[in-house]
Amino acid sequence: MMGTAERRRLVVPLTLLILFFAVGWTSGRSVATEERAAPARETTNESPSAGADEKEASSRAPRILFPGKRCIVESGRLELIALAQPQKDGLFAEVPLLVDGKPQEWGPYQPPVLVARLELTPGKHLLNVGGKDLVVFIAKAGKKGEDVRAGAGADPKDGRPEGWPAFRSHPGSKDGWKNCALCHGTEIDEGRMKVGRPKHYEVCRTCHTSEEFVRIHAHPEEPLFDCGMCHGVHGARRPSFLIASAKPLCALCHE
């Protein structure tokens, strides 16, 4: 019969042997796992500057002011408004415009301003501005002489996509087109309109009185001389053309 001391002398070598094989098997499995993962890392051939190039290209893409992407526009008579971005040489490259895959000409404006007058039928339309896709849904067709202000005569059963917000446009003239000179300094240069910076907030007072301002905003008028701080004059997704919800807008000045 085996004594206690003999059993201990036998158990210790067996334990070491088991640990040796266990460690060897685990190490082998780890190496195999790394070898299988290595090709996936090696096949990644993107240049370190690829992300920077994409970011730079995006910064030169036109900035679209109206309409917004994946939104509902209440009238098919609209002006697509964008701003071209300067290239490396400081000049403005040509910006192609496609409407549902068909070339469309820009109006006679000096860069960086880009304006195209469109008359679109009700339903979805794909606009491509300098390679930048923009899908909009037209709720109804615009007609000459009709009131095309946002929401006027809109049919809630016109098949508009669920969850898409309405992109409201500041009212223009009765025929539906905008007049840049109402809010911007403009001049004709070589047969093309040169659109300057927005005029002083006094231009807003031609339609909105000081009394109306105080009544609607519950705020003194004097500190808020730049209406563009809170309102997107060319258009916005929120009521009253707000560019954000009220709380963060108030936080621009108030803690």
Contacts of 133 (CB under 8 A, 6+ apart): 69, 126, 127
pLDDT cut 90: percent of the chain above it:
30
State the alpha helices, DSSP H only, in the chain: 4-42, 50-59, 210-217, 246-250
- Average pLDDT (102-120) is 96
- Average pLDDT (60-78) is 89
Confidence of residue 252 (pLDDT cuts 50, 70, 90): confident
Q: What pLDDT digit, counting tens, does each position of 185-236 carry?
A: 999 999 999 999 888 777 888 888 888 888 888 788 777 778 888 888 888 8
List own/partner pairs for 62-67 with CB under 8 A and 24 or more apart.
Answer: 62/95, 62/114, 62/129, 62/130, 62/132, 64/129, 64/132, 64/134, 65/234, 65/235, 66/167, 66/169, 66/234, 66/235, 67/134, 67/136, 67/167, 67/169, 67/235
Q: What pLDDT digit, counting tens, does each position of 138-184 carry?
A: 987 555 444 434 444 445 556 788 889 988 887 766 666 888 888 89
Confidence of residue 136 (pLDDT cuts 50, 70, 90): very high
Q: How many Å from the N-terminal Cα to the C-terminal Cα in the chain? A: 87
- Average pLDDT (100-104) is 97
Residues paired with 186 in a beta bridge:
195
Residue type, 91: L
